[in-house]
């Protein structure tokens, strides 16, 4: 299949976007959410696939083993605002989802979320990942994904990230405004991705998530989910590892790349790190929102 030409980034109501996420705007905004829909919201490269798969297993892992083996995660959890023909539009896939509840993914900043999600008081799971690992992951993703605009070298990309010139805009504004929303919208569960993975905190994390969702899996079911969402297992799983997505070139960089915290140390120079930290302090003034960049 011929790869599409890379799109250009433009300002869309104050947020940098590309046509692949704005072309179906009216339809997306008019999406009719149902009260039991669950929206999974993230800034790109923050653990979206991980949490989509986790929720999918928690809800449907036992019910349909066949579906787990034959339907990709992208179809099970449609990407609401995606509009990249010839692929089906995310909004249409979400409309047609046969499951209940419907799990729907978005990268939209909070102010762009279709209003029916708020009106229907839907549960929302937001996942954020520390800025340094997010920008590294986004850089490699941009290299391998032809839906992403042309990108310069690493140092240009890092500067663009600091200035919010990324698809879906500024990471700083995204994580902060979703955090603010959580203070007034009680049906929002804000998770910090992979803060401390798969040890005791994993059990606390999954128990909190299940309690928010109103689910009560047995210890055995939770263990099954824990094992399935381990990085190495997801990397091998063709239904979740992106290997069926034709616009991605995994030879350039795999979609399931490293799955580590603190890989940024292999990319940031000392001076880039100092500049980044200085800028971060100016933009992240809320002391209640804290991310770990070390394991």
Site for ligand A3P in 189-208 (CB under 6 A): 194
Nearer to ligand A3P, 228 or 284 (CB): 228
Q: Is 45 in the site for ligand A3P (CB under 6 A)?
A: yes
Nearest residue to ligand A3P, scored by beta-carbon proximity? 259
Quick check: 108 and 181 in contact, CB under 8 A?
no
135 binds ligand A3P (CB under 6 A): no
Span of 24-32, 46-54, 202-210, 243-251 interacting with ligand A3P by CB under 6 A? 46-54
H helix or E strand, kind and range, residue 189: strand 188-192
Q: What 3-state class would DSSP assign to 33?
A: coil
Nearest to 188 by CA among 197, 179, 196: 179
Where do the H-state alpha helices sit in 214-269? 219-228, 231-236
Helical packing angle, 219-228 and 48-60, nearest 10°: 150
Interface with ligand A3P includes 47 (CB under 6 A)?
Answer: yes
The residues, any chain, with a CB within 8 Å of residue 22's CB and separated by 6 or more, are 12, 81, 83
Q: Which of 13, 20, 107, 250 is catalytic?
A: 107
Size of the site for ligand A3P (CB under 6 A): 20
Provide the mask over 147-176, with x wherever binding to ligand A3P is found by CB under 6 A and - wherever it is not: ------------------------------
**56 sits near ligand A3P (criterion: CB under 6 A):** no
Nearest one of 24, 22, 17 to 44, comparing CA atoms: 17
DSSP class of residue 113 equals S
Cα–Cα distance measured from residue 243 to residue 135, given in angstroms and rounded to the nearest whole number: 22
Rule CB under 6 A: say whether 15 interacts with ligand A3P. Answer: no
Q: Please answer whether residues 241 and 230 qualify as being in contact, where contact means their C-beta atoms are separated by less than 8 angstroms.
A: no
For ligand A3P, which residue of 229, 248, 267, 268 counts as binding (CB under 6 A)?
A: 229
* 92-131 binders of ligand A3P (CB under 6 A): none
CA-CA distance, 97 to 95, in Å (whole number)? 6
Report if residue 145 touches ligand A3P, rule: CB under 6 A: no
Q: Which of 123, 140, 148, 174 binds ligand A3P (CB under 6 A)?
A: 140
Q: Which residues contact 64 (CB under 8 A, 6 or more apart)?
A: none
Least distance to ligand A3P, CB of residue 290, Å: 20
Residue 102 CB, shortest distance to ligand A3P, in Å, is 19
Q: Are the CB atoms for 148 and 284 separated by under 8 Å?
A: no
d(CA 44, CA 64): 28
- The CA distances from residue 71 to 19, 66, 78, 145, 256, in Å, are 27, 8, 12, 21, 18
Residue 80 binding ligand A3P, by CB under 6 A: no
Q: Which is nearer to ligand A3P, 9 or 225 (CB)?
A: 225
Site for ligand A3P in 232-291 (CB under 6 A): 234, 256-259, 263
Question: Is residue 107 flagged as an active site residue?
Answer: yes
Closest distance of CB 35 from ligand A3P, Å: 26
Identify which of residues 29 and 272 has a Cβ nearer to ligand A3P in the complex: 272
The set of catalytic residues is 107
Binding site for ligand A3P (CB under 6 A): 42, 44-50, 133, 137, 140, 194, 229, 231, 234, 256-259, 263
């Amino acid at each position: 299949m011929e790869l599409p030409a890379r799109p250009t980034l433009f300002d869309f109501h104050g947020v940098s976007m590309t046509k692949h996420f704005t072309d179906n705007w009216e339809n997306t905004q008019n999406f009719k959410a149902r009260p039991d829909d669950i929206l999974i919201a993230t800034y790109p490269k923050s653990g979206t696939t991980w949490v989509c798969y986790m929720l999918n297993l928690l809800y449907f892992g036992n019910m349909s083993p066949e579906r787990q083996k034959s339907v990709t995660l992208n179809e099970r959890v449609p990407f609401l605002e995606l509009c990249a023909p010839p692929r089906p539009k995310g909004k249409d896939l979400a409309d047609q989802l046969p499951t209940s509840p419907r799990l729907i993914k978005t990268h939209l900043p909070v102010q762009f979320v279709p209003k029916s999600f708020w009106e229907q008081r839907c549960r929302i799971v937001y996942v954020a990942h520390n800025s340094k690992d997010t920008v590294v992951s986004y850089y490699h993703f941009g290299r391998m994904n032809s839906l992403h605009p042309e990108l310069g070298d690493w140092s240009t990309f890092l500067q663009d990230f600091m200035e919010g010139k990324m698809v879906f805009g500024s990471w700083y504004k995204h994580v902060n405004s979703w955090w603010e929303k959580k203070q007034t919208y009680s049906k929002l569960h804000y998770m910090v991705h992979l803060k401390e993975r798969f040890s005791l905190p994993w059990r606390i994390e999954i128990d909190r998530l299940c309690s928010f969702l109103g689910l009560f899996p047995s210890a055995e079911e939770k263990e099954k989910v824990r094992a399935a969402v381990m990085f190495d297992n997801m990397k091998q799983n063709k239904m979740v590892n992106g290997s069926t997505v034709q616009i991605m070139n995994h030879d350039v960089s795999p979609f399931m790349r490293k799955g580590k915290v603190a890989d940024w140390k292999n990319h940031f120079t000392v001076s880039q790190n100092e500049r980044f930290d200085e800028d971060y302090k100016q933009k992240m003034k809320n002391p209640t929102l804290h991310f770990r960049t070390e394991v």
